[in-house]
Amino acid sequence: MIITDTHTHLYSEAFDDDRTDMIERALKEGVERFFIPAIDSTYTDAMFELERQFPGHIFLMTGLHPTHVKENYHEELAHVDDLLTQRKFYAVGEIGMDLYWDKTFIEEQREAFRYQIRLAKKYNLPIVIHCRDAFNEVFEILESENDGGLFGVFHCFTGTLAEARKAISLNMKLGIGGVVTFKNGKIDTFLDQIPLSHIVLETDSPYLAPVPFRGKRNESSYIIHVLQKLALLYGISCEEIAEITTANSKAVFGV
């Protein structure tokens, strides 16, 4: 059984004391594919180091996270642009909008999101979207940029059934993680109405640990609890969930 974690921040400082052991635990659980989203330029070297340490398992993205869109965002976007000219990446992400913490740079977030969507289309890459308290803003930009060349993953999807269907209509897979195991997560109430062909698995580790680890540091091996929850919701085996969602990840990322 090959499991794919389509969104995990393995370079996070939260793993500095046990990173190798943590990744080895995931590998033992069958998590063989780790897709690594970017945050900003300060993490680039750590991402490259992960790739060197675990060849064949680590697949890198590049991008500027919306909460890191600050006064220097033009320099950060230039860094993303430059990296894309130098080597292979598997997505532009994570990008999008986040109006939960701070709305100071809302216009800059919009500009950065559009710019990176256009970079993705230029290189025929998927986008990986971060959206928090910003569904209307994200959908508005996606619809205006959707010329048939747009595809990717709506990371950590926490919206409604209607928003799920809208994301799918824009050629996005839904990234499902620990939230599906939460009692108040809500997406478990309608997820079985979404065909599995539109779903990929993720952890967003070290964040959003699933039950029974909620509130603690998340790690990629915990994806097995997300897998088990989906098997229960869809009434099929964990092996089938792993096979279908890994195939979906290959369709998105091309590997």
CATH of the domain at 70: 3.20.20.140
Please tell me the total count of domains within the chain: 1
Amino acid at 48: F
Q: Which domain holds residue 191?
A: 3-253
pTM for the whole structure: 0.97
Task: Using the structure block, give the residue that is written with the tokens 């990322």.
Answer: 253
- Measured CA to CA, the distance from residue 37 to residue 157 in angstroms comes to 15
pLDDT value of residue 148: 86
pLDDT per residue of the chain (255 residues) written in tens, 0 to 9: 999 999 999 999 999 999 999 999 999 999 999 999 999 999 999 999 999 999 999 999 999 999 999 999 999 999 999 999 999 999 999 999 999 988 999 999 999 999 999 999 999 999 999 999 999 999 999 999 998 889 999 999 999 999 999 999 999 999 999 999 999 989 999 999 999 999 999 999 999 999 999 999 999 999 999 999 999 999 999 999 999 999 999 999 999
pLDDT value of residue 102: 87
pLDDT value of residue 101: 85
Tokens encoding 56: 């064949």
